[in-house]
Amino acid sequence: MTSPAQGEAPHPRHQPVAAAGPKTMTDLLTLADPERTLVNWLLRQRGASLADIVAHTQAEPAALQAMLDNLTATGFLILHEDADPAVFKPNLVSRRPRTMPEKLWKAVE
Amino acid sequence: MAQVISIHSFRGGTGKSNLTANIATSVASQGKRVAIVDTDIQSPGIHVLFGLDDKDFTHSLNDYLWDRCSAKDAAYDVTALTTADGTPAQISGSVHLVPSSLKAGEIAKILREGYDVGLLNDCFHDLIDQLDLDYLFIDTHPGLNEETLLSIAISDRMVIILRPDRQDFLGTAVTLEVAQKLDVPGITLLVNKAPDIYPRETLIDKVQAQYGVPVGGLFYENDEMLQLASGGIFWLHHPDHAFSQEVHAVARQLIAAE
């Protein structure tokens, strides 16, 4: 972990971002039950491999793969391929910045 | 395995931070290692109950989110609490607090720029590992927003505080619906600030019947709480008070539910 130099503006931490993501927690609530349940579980686990997901859900592998593909394509999950085995992680963590006139922000900063 | 407990209320003014501080310290008094994270970034305040002044802390949750410090660096040991006569309280466990910044510019900056809410999840797990915690309490912002949804989603138990008030009742129904969608394993309701005209059993039965969720505690309004005015942990100042006994009962339930 690094710290910004003295006087330098702090920079927010960042995580890998999928092309279609990231989604918000509010978006998560709009998913159908099976998808939402899976993403909820992954959120608690902070990610899991395909084998772990299969073991947890006991779902039919082809159907599960299709669900994971869809969740990844729509930006709810991101596949971290640098891990061995690769790990699916939730990608629904961005809070959208508040919109407000610039001069009001300047006044309070 | 540490338990993550989020304390939530749909509306402000329910006494959420006060109950969080009291219950967390009661759990610690039973030998547990406890931390509280103030995720109410927009309107922080729980540090006041622990006598922590904003000048006393060099790092806050905001600094963690900006990669300025580790989670442990933003956690302050507040176990050295005192009773009403100033003598040290007997807390056999420990209490750490991660405050949010009280600097107007830093609150504005985080509202303006947003942040990666998932980092809160990392922060919680870092604290559990680095402080070897038994319990992590999350003091949330009232209502539903991205942070509170995340806190709810990753909790082992959610405690919802409500007053016997129609608006609170409606809001609690919304919160429960969301909690069920997020598969929270355990939910407890606490009724706070109840006027003493309501008989205990009648009110508990009414709330439980309305929501189908157990009521873990009922706290009546009292003058001593108003007089303390967030000047400390209530049960340490009034150990024999009915409110304090109810705090300990809730703490015992949380430990037993582990």
A90: which residues sit within 8 A by CB, 6+ positions away? Answer: A39, A42, A43, A47, A76, A77, A78, B118
Residue B75, phi then psi, degrees to nearest 5: -100, 125
Task: Give the pLDDT confidence score for residue A11 in this predicted structure.
Answer: 45
Task: Give the pLDDT confidence score for residue B42 in this predicted structure.
Answer: 86
Residue B101 has pLDDT above 90, yes or no: yes
Distance CA B147, CA B140 (A): 8
B 104-143 residues inside an 8 A Cβ radius of A: 104-105, 107-109, 111-119, 121-122, 125
Q: Which residue of A has its CA nearest to B62?
A: A12
Question: Which site among A2, A3, A8, A13 would you substitute to test the B interface, given the most B Cβ atoms closer than 10 Å to its Cβ?
Answer: A13
Quickly name the fold that domain A25-90 has.
Answer: Arc Repressor Mutant, subunit A (1.10.10)
Q: Mean pLDDT throughout B244-258?
A: 96
Task: Give the pLDDT confidence score for residue A8 in this predicted structure.
Answer: 43
Nearest-by-Cβ selection for B150 from A15, A25, A100: A25
Task: Give the pLDDT confidence score for residue B56 in this predicted structure.
Answer: 85
Task: Give the pLDDT confidence score for residue A7 in this predicted structure.
Answer: 41
Question: Which domains occur in chain B, in start order?
Answer: 3-256 (3.40.50.300)
Q: Which residue of B has its CA nearest to A4?
A: B68
Asked whether the CA dihedral B12, B18, B24, B26 is positive or negative, the reply is negative
CA atoms within 13 A on the CB side of B136: 31
- Separation in Å, CA of A44 to nearest CA in chain B: 5
Distance CA B25, CA B35 (A): 9
Is the ipTM, as predicted for this complex, more than 0.85? no
- Separation in Å, CA of B119 to nearest CA in chain A: 8
Distance CA B82, CA B155 (A): 30
Distance CA B141, CA B145 (A): 8
Q: In a structure prediction context, what are the per-residue pLDDT tens digits for chain A, which is 109 residues long?
A: 333 344 444 444 444 445 576 888 899 999 999 999 999 999 988 899 999 999 999 999 999 999 999 999 999 999 999 989 999 999 876 566 667 777 777 777 6
Distance CA B242, CA A13 (A): 46
Q: Do A93 and B181 touch (CB under 8 A)?
A: no
Task: Give the pLDDT confidence score for residue B247 in this predicted structure.
Answer: 98
Q: Do A109 and B105 touch (CB under 8 A)?
A: yes
The pair of structure tokens assigned to B254 is 């949380």
DSSP 8-class letter at B10:
S
Instruction: Quick: pLDDT tens for B14-67.
Output: 999 999 999 999 999 999 999 999 999 888 999 999 999 888 889 999 999 999
Contacts of residue B147 in chain A, CB cutoff 8 Å? 95
